[in-house]
A and B are shown apart, each in its own frame.
Chain A
Amino acid sequence: MNAIYILWLRQLKRYFRAKARIIGSLGQPLLFLIALGFGFGPIYQKAGQGNYLDFITPGIIAMSILFTSVFFGIEIIWDKQFGFLKETLVAPVSRFNIMLGRTLGGATVSTLQGVIVLVLSTIFGFRFHNLAMLPVALLFMFLIALVFTGLGTAIGSKLDDMQGFQLIMNFLIMPLFFLSGALFPLSGLPKALVIVASIDPLSYGIDGIRGALVGASHFNMFVDFGVLGILTVILLALGAYFFSKVQI
């Protein structure tokens, strides 16, 4: 228990100490918020869909959680050779607990990152539909963080060097984001795209946050919660499995 806690704490300390990194990693979500939110706003409004900034804010929050979480998992590749990971792996602590502490820490940090994006978006005019639902939104954010930290951990544990990294970014992470309904409503789309979006786990996370923050969801918040809950368990198990097989 103690080991899990200190691994979690370590991630938080690292996060808060790297101020430049926090600011740097906010650049991309901010750019998306401003360029897309204001750029497409008028068209979206004309099409009778309402406020586009309100619509994409949950998507951009999810994006920053997705990227932070996956990067965090992939850091393992580096950590294996030159980092602290070796020190933890030879300690008399079960690999499961190490993975759990690390992952919980990473997921907490990613969620914080999402919260910062949410706060920033209010500056640009994002309006809460119902502030009382904020805890539900936070829950969905944390679930997204867990799912993708688990995924990142599985990938990072499996890869031996950084060469596969570009491949993962372009063929897994980017599609997960762009096909998720982060940037467009899922209703009235070509059938194929709808099917792809309903396979993409991120869609459910975004839908959940949107349901909680904006008051409009495509699937159903209970469905969102169910799907994400199951995926969390599966991906954490997968992450734990591959992590337990890590060779250095």
Chain B
Amino acid sequence: MDNNIIQVKNLTKKFKEFIAVNNVSFEVKKNEIFAFLGPNGAGKTTTIKMLTTLLDPTSGEIFLNGFDALKEKNEARKSFGIVFQDPSLDDELTAFENMQFHAVLYNVKTNSLRQKIIELLDFVELQDRKDALVKTFSGGMKRRLEIARGLLHHPKILFLDEPTLGLDPQTRNKIWDYIKNLNKTEGITVFFTTHYMEEAENIAQRVAIIDHGKIVAKETPEQLKKLTKSTSLEKAFLALTGKKIRDEEVTGQDIMRNHRRMWRHR
């Protein structure tokens, strides 16, 4: 019990009639790297939003680092950092300013904050662009900046919602090495989602698979492969969730997402 840094009990989220997350329970141990996998629209992001106090569940309980994430929101927020699936940078600020802003919000007290920011920007190879406005960055550069920002303060739990989406293999490897190292040296618990199964297979110590809002498996990657008699996690994933492509209902937010894409591509 004490060993579980994330504890989720009977978590449910309904959007009107639609049940996006359906009576989900799981726990993540301290210092674990945990992958939360599932097809498009399975409910991964919705679950992460509830875990990170952005969305109130319809029912259920969430404990983060011993704090009730529904009642002691501020305490819970001090315990985690997050890289979102959707963009969350300020396009009108520079890369450096975005980092600085994060440091103030999280009260990062290092006597060499500037140094630390430059180090991280250097790590994601954005150091030479540090004073450029974020709106001039490519998608991959923005993603790298978001990750660097997420690593600026060292929380107990790090949530990563498809952190490596749209990044090249070099960058992906580099970032995962850094995160694995953080996990090892600082004991940070990592909770991530991804659609790259080989990533999950290589990095995660334990995996939960969610489909249609329900958890269908919670095992180590090895056990999952054994259970489904598969040779890779990808095959195990397909065996558990089927081959059908998911059609999602279009929400107002999806419409905005499309508008945004159109604007971007001008």
Instruction: List A residues at the B interface (Cβ < 8 Å).
Output: 2-3, 6, 10, 13-14, 17-18, 78, 81-94, 160-163, 247-248
Contacts and interface: CB of A to CB of B under 8 A. Distances in A.
A82 B260 contact: yes
Given A13-B93, A17-B92, A91 B77 contact: yes
Given A82-B256, A90-B54, A92-B78, A18 B92 contact: yes
Interface of B: 49, 52-56, 74, 77-78, 80, 82, 84, 86-90, 92-93, 97, 101-102, 104-107, 133, 149, 252-253, 255-257, 260
Contacts of A90: 52-54, 77, 80, 82
A136 B183 CA distance: 58
Given A3-B104, A86-B84, A163-B252, 4 more contacts: A2-B104, A81-B86, A84-B90, A161-B255
20 contacts: A2-B107, A3-B105, A10-B93, A10-B101, A14-B90, A14-B92, A81-B257, A83-B90, A84-B90, A87-B102, A87-B105, A87-B149, A90-B53, A94-B74, A160-B252, A160-B253, A161-B256, A162-B252, A248-B49, A248-B55
A13 B54 contact: no
Contacts of B88: 82-87
A103 to B, nearest CB: 17
Contacts of B97: 13
A163 B56 CA distance: 23
Nearest to B100: A6
A161 B106 contact: no
Nearest to B56: A247
Contacts of A248: 49, 54-55
Contact of B74 (A14, A85, A88, A92): A92
B80 to A, nearest CB: 8
A105 to B, nearest CB: 12
Nearest to B76: A92
A24 to B, nearest CB: 15
A86 B256 contact: no
Contacts of B104: 2-3, 6
A101 to B, nearest CB: 10
A91 B101 CA distance: 11
Q: Which 4 A-B pairs have the closest CB atoms?
A: A161-B252, A91-B105, A248-B54, A92-B78
A17 B77 CA distance: 32
A233 to B, nearest CB: 25
A31 B207 CA distance: 62
Contacts of B256: 78, 81-82, 161-162
Contacts of B80: 90
B264 to A, nearest CB: 10
A21 to B, nearest CB: 10
A82 B89 CA distance: 8
A17 B136 CA distance: 14
Contacts of A92: 74, 77-78, 105-107
B13 to A, nearest CB: 10
Contacts of B253: 81, 160-161
B105 A86 contact: no
Nearest to B159: A90
Contacts of B86: 81-82, 86
A130 to B, nearest CB: 39
A76 to B, nearest CB: 13
Nearest to B78: A92
A135 B52 CA distance: 45
B241 to A, nearest CB: 26
Nearest to B53: A90
Contacts of A85: 88
A58 B12 CA distance: 53
